[in-house]
Structure 1
Amino acid sequence: MRNINFYSKLLSIFLIALGLFGCSSPSVTQYAKEKPNLDLSEYFNGTIDAYGIFTDRSGEVKKRFTVLLVADWKVVDGKKVGTLDESFEYSDGTKQKRIWTLTEIAPGKYIGRADDVVGDALGESAGNALNWAYTLALPVDGTIYHVQFNDWMYLVTPKVMLNKAKMSKFGIDLGEVTLSFYKR
């Protein structure tokens, strides 16, 4: 009886550990050797077109949209600072604007700010990848919800980048945003 209790506890600990490891996300450093190398101030400079969808947690497409992104970078107090001016147009005809200010605080480490971002967006890049984590104040039917984004971008060619962002609230998956960027 004692051995059964011991093995039952051991199995429980193993299953909990397995569940925790299964929920972990990749680290941006695992992409350090991937090419082409993503330099945010190089890629997000000039005019970029993006095409995207939002899918709910069941995978159903809920919104389609395009983005015209105009970006430039300057050196301010010895740091690279970028402005990304995004103009969204949704398939239902609605429009939205977001202007990001990105600051490189250390090589491969970024802080991003925008009017509808709560606090700072924190980003890290390595190799061809960039990971952003931030909270967005998202308007839905007249109510503002604060939702968390885990945003991954991968440079595929010098002109093409793919973006997949998971959206959640209280740890519950709400859906995903998928974007393809094309640098003119």
Structure 2
Amino acid sequence: MHKCLIRWCKTWFVASAVVLLSSCSADLSDYRASTPKFDLFEYFHGDITAWGMVQDYTEQQTRRFEVQIRGEVNGNTLTLHEDFRYHDGETATRVWIITRQPDGRYLGTADDIIGTAVGEEMGNALRWRYDFLLKTDEHELQVHFDDWMYRQDEKHVFNISKITKWGVTLGQVTLFFTKEQ
């Protein structure tokens, strides 16, 4: 009976710690007063170069890449043409169609995005969430991306994306954007 109670207490403690730690995350309103103001359409209109890497759940770098981006704004629609070049020679293209909603949120679609991406900005931050069809050599896996973009200045944006499946972190993507003048 005593061992059973100790095991139950340990299990309860671990489960409580996991719930507590997983509920701790940044809130977009934390960036309300941060500057410069993030304006998705203004920043991504024109030519941008980005560099990034993918890390797995052990934080080991698994891929490196460069992206050439061309953004075109037409009213409440931003079209992003993204051309990826990976360190292993692979190339890929993604075209985002992003619309600004009357409530200030953004909705976006692309061929490898499942459903609709939703974005919100406040202060110098933009949070962008969507489901993605991740293709590996052996499988296709539906994962969730939680992107946080931070406007550093007129030319630079940092992006950290958590990749999860059923709430478990599978990896992370880190990007650095530079806007051409």
TM-score normalized by the length of structure 2: 0.88
- Residue 135 of structure 1: aligned partner: 131
The percentage of aligned residue pairs carrying the same residue is 37
Q: Which amino acid aligns with 2:121?
A: S
RMSD (Å) for aligned C-alpha atoms: 1.9
Structure 1, 157-166 or 133-142: larger mean CA deviation: 133-142
- Residue 87 of structure 2: aligned partner: 91
- Residue 163 of structure 2: aligned partner: 167
Equivalenced residues, count: 170
Matched, 1:183 2:155: no
- Residue 122 of structure 1: aligned partner: 118
Q: Deviations over 1:61-106 (max 9, x none)?
A: 100000000001111xxxx110000000000000000000111113
Contact kept, 8 Å, 1:55 with 1:61, in 2: the verdict is: yes
Q: Secondary structure at the match of 1:35?
A: coil
- Residue 39 of structure 1: aligned partner: 39
Runs of 4+ aligned residues of structure 1 deviating over 3 Å after TM superposition are 18-21
Q: Distance in 2 between matches of 1:154 and 1:178?
A: 12
In the TM superposition, what is the alpha-carbon distance from 1:122 to its structure 2 partner? 0.8
In the TM superposition, what is the alpha-carbon distance from 1:107 to its structure 2 partner? 4.8
Q: Deviations over 1:101-137 (max 9, x none)?
A: 1111135411110010000001110000001111001
Q: Secondary structure at the match of 1:106?
A: coil
Gaps of 5+ in 1: none
Q: Distance in 1 between matches of 2:165 and 2:18?
A: 20
In the TM superposition, what is the alpha-carbon distance from 1:21 to its structure 2 partner? 3.9
Contact kept, 8 Å, 1:108 with 1:126, in 2: the verdict is: no
